[in-house]
Structure 1
Amino acid sequence: MRLPGAQPSLWDAARALLVRDLKLLWRRRSDAAQPALFALLVVALFALALGGNPQLLARVAGAVLWLAVLLAGLLSLDGLFRGDAEDGSLEQWLLSPVPLAWLVAVRVFSHWLTTAFPLVLLSPLLAELMQLPHAQLPVLVASLALGTPLLSLLGAVVAALTVGMRRAGILLALLVLPLYVPVLVFGAGAVAAAAQGLDPLGGLLLLGAGLLAGLVLAPLTAAAAIRIANA
């Protein structure tokens, strides 16, 4: 038990912030479903545009699925820190005895858990719509499991840089898309390698290495950007 007046531990702060985010998400359940619905719509439109040809769909399935997940993640990226900046919570983060980078990391995890993780769970259904061969499905799921947290970490850095700007949605997308390109290339490339009978491990290892680097550097960089924006 923590004594009254004692400073909260890292895990107490993480649990409190995560519970708060989940409660707010529950109040906006329709907004929470938008990324998954958007990804489903993109995949369905691609399938219709390509005429339902199974061979053609299977050839482009990995790239289309990765692109749908990437674009769906952009929908909620602008609100990663903006709500906290508008209601004053971000200033409390700066005054908190808990390291700001830790709070940023918890928020990124919350964002990934509520936006990207459902897409990872939905990926077998999306893959079925795109006629992706079942043998390539484990590679797709593994690449998404490694790549989507990296997308959230990179997006958090840009969201922190633009948190002080009004209507920064288009600017945020323009800034973050070049950072997303390598993740898209390695993720879709791993699925394409599996489709060609090659070893997809190289692309997955690069995604894993990027994720480890992002876990260390992205929260620190985003925290510094938030301090600059609130200076």
Structure 2
Amino acid sequence: MIALLRRDLALAVRAGGGFGLGLAFFLIVIVLVPFGVGPQADILSRIAPGVLWVAALLAALLSLDRIFALDFEDGSLPLLATSPLPLEGVALIKGVAHWLTTGLPLTFAAPALGFLLSLAPGAYVWLLASLVLGTPALSMIGTFGAAVTVGLKRGGLLMSLLVLPLYVPTLIFGAEAVRRGADGQDPTTPLLMLAGITLGCFALLPFASAAALRVNLK
């Protein structure tokens, strides 16, 4: 499992499919929002939690189609399916690798970009906490979507239609946690919901992803 994780991390960095692309998209979205909304600090501060979370969600979505596509194209995926490592473990490692190359950089970049949206000072800690808890769920849900659509022509569009509705609960609770932190309220409840969603995704979706891969590899 460690060898597979190292391989996926190396491929992601060399191909530039997650790390650079996601961060660049995240930065562009956050920079463009003040131009579209206006420079009023009160308006930007009010919409900042939702904008930061939506931008992080869309940035994570960009590289989802590469989770299994490269392995499918070069013939590695059938070999992984017949290896001693079960497909459930493969799906889990793929989700972890995607988070390390996409979700984790976005998490650390978000507080710095919050300054551009006049995010309230009290919200930065909760923004970081919500992304740490929520972005792993985005990667695991995306892994499931990638497994369902692997090998399909124009599967990226289908995967987006499949994954985006599943992202909604994470988006709602993530933005709510940051908003409560900005308003000086207790964000414990939405953070606990985020943690529950992430744990549920890591407990269930590797099995669903493995089942989808077995169907697509037949």
Relative to the length of structure 2, the TM-score reads 0.96
In structure 1, C-alpha distance between the alignment counterparts of 2:18 and 2:187, rounded to whole Å: 35
Q: Find the counterpart in structure 2 of residue 93 from structure 1.
A: 80
Q: Secondary structure at the match of 2:206?
A: helix
Higher alpha-carbon Rg: 1
Q: Find the counterpart in structure 2 of residue 220 from structure 1.
A: 207
In structure 1, C-alpha distance between the alignment counterparts of 2:128 and 2:148, rounded to whole Å: 31
Q: One-letter code of the match for 2:68?
A: F
In structure 1, C-alpha distance between the alignment counterparts of 2:212 and 2:12, rounded to whole Å: 25
Sequence identity (%) = 45
User: Does residue 174 of the first structure (1) align with residue 161 of the second (2)?
Assistant: yes
Q: Secondary structure at the match of 1:165?
A: coil
Deviation digits for residues 81-131 of structure 1 (CA, Å, limit 9, x no counterpart): 011111111101110111111111111111110011101110111111111
Picking from 35, 38, 45, the partner of 2:32 is 45
Q: Aligned pair in 2 of structure 1 residues 31, 69: CA closer, same or farther (>3 Å)? A: closer
**Structure 2: segments with no counterpart, 5+ residues:** none
In structure 2, C-alpha distance between the alignment counterparts of 1:185 and 1:135, rounded to whole Å: 19
In structure 1, C-alpha distance between the alignment counterparts of 2:202 and 2:18, rounded to whole Å: 27
Relative to the length of structure 1, the TM-score reads 0.91
Shift of 1:31: 6.0
Map 1:173-192 onto structure 2 (within 5 A): 173-192=160-179
- The question of whether the paired residues in 1 share the 8 Å contact of 2:67 and 2:146 is answered with yes
User: Does residue 157 of the first structure (1) align with residue 144 of the second (2)?
Assistant: yes
In structure 2, C-alpha distance between the alignment counterparts of 1:22 and 1:177, rounded to whole Å: 24
| Residues matched between the structures, number | 218
In structure 1, C-alpha distance between the alignment counterparts of 2:189 and 2:133, rounded to whole Å: 13
Map 1:133-144 onto structure 2 (within 5 A): 133-144=120-131
In structure 1, C-alpha distance between the alignment counterparts of 2:114 and 2:217, rounded to whole Å: 43
Aligned-pair RMSD on alpha carbons? 1.3
Q: One-letter code of the match for 1:54?
A: A
**Structure 1: segments with no counterpart, 5+ residues:** 1-13
Shift of 1:30: 7.4
